[in-house]
Amino acid sequence: MVSVMNKVADPDGAADLYPSRNAGKPSVIGRADPAVYTDPEDASPGPLTRRQLLDYENQGFLVLDAFFGPDDVRALQEELNRLWAGAADSGEETVIREPDSEVVRSIFAVHEGNAMFRQLARDRRLIALAEQLLGSRVYIHQSRVNYKSGFAGKEFYWHSDFETWHVEDGMPRMRAVSFSIALSQNTPANGPLMLIPGSHKHYVACPGETPEDHHKMSLRRQEYGVPDRASLAWLAEQGGGISVSTGAPGTLTLFECNTMHGSNSNISPNPRSNVFLVYNSVENALTAPFGGMKPRPGYIASRDFTALSPLNGP
């Protein structure tokens, strides 16, 4: 049986509203923060319609087909492939490999070290979306490219990003949004993003204590901050099942920081690659990690809270 706790109000912001990894048993805590920080009924202009804002607020995610055109996609694909080739023999800590092989899994902080992805993170269309959802100016909390190679790309098990960002990075509240930009065809067969509708309304507190330097293991295979099966089954039942984000290159999927998501291993011949950008509100800057450990490195959780100035496009 799943233990569900009511949300707790904390007007002074002094308490930890989302404790996790400090008890023997998992629990589900009601969300204390809004999902959309602007009023869907507000007549002021914004890239998302009232219907889209309400869908995001209710489901915890939104899929925008063909957000990027063929020319933009082609340029981003070429740069992604160039990074892939350069990372094969790299010893950089930003390069993460698959748990059971040396195949490249992810490259972090691409908005800092790569001119094209730095420009992409400042695309005025993306910033406008993030600012509309979060109700403030934004900065990049995390960026990476994910390579789920054909036959070799392993799963990303179910998780809430916010649980990790709160416990291990010190993100105080649920006021961040993740953008996943498809750079390959996403099909049901090649390990696409899976999301549980409505799961962002509930916070799953996970059991166990986080080991020191957990990121060295968790970026390859996460074992702490993993929700229990009963809570996952309950979330899926509440949300009416599981949604799969498929689509052509250029598709943009926006999902709320507490939305439960994951993906299967890719045993198909076809790769599944994407760019991942996390925008956090400048009013939600990181503090000391709520789990009591030292902060993770800046390439995983940026502590440069400077608001982004938009550019014209990627």
What's the pLDDT score for residue 155? 73
**Segment 70-90 mean pLDDT:** 91
Who has greater pLDDT, 193 or 100?
193
Q: Is the pLDDT of residue 101 over 50?
A: yes
- The proportion of the chain whose per-residue pLDDT surpasses 90, expressed as a percent, equals 66
Who has greater pLDDT, 153 or 48?
48
Q: Is the pLDDT of residue 291 over 70?
A: yes
Residue 213, CB-side half-sphere exposure with 13 Å CA sphere = 2
Who has greater pLDDT, 84 or 60?
60
| Residues 116, 314 contacting (CB under 8 angstroms) | yes
Tens of pLDDT, residues 5-47? 655 555 455 679 999 988 778 899 999 999 999 987 775 668 9
Q: Is the pLDDT of residue 1 over 80?
A: no
- pLDDT tier at 312, thresholds 50, 70, 90: low
Helix ranges restricted to H, 153-291: 161-164, 215-218, 229-239
C-alpha span between 118 and 148 (Å, rounded) = 22
What's the pLDDT score for residue 149? 79
Going along the chain from its start, the domains and CATH numbers come out as: 4-9+28-41+50-284 (2.60.120.620)
Tens of pLDDT, residues 118-152? 999 999 999 999 999 999 999 999 999 988 877 77
Token representation of residue 102: 């040396």
What's the pLDDT score for residue 7? 56
What's the pLDDT score for residue 39? 86
- pLDDT tier at 86, thresholds 50, 70, 90: confident
Reported pTM: 0.91
Give the dihedral sign, CA 273/89/78/121.
positive
Q: Is the pLDDT of residue 220 over 70?
A: no
C-alpha span between 253 and 63 (Å, rounded) = 4
Mean pLDDT of the chain: 88
Who has greater pLDDT, 169 or 9?
169
Q: Is the pLDDT of residue 63 over 50?
A: yes
Token representation of residue 140: 């990049």
C-alpha span between 149 and 151 (Å, rounded) = 6
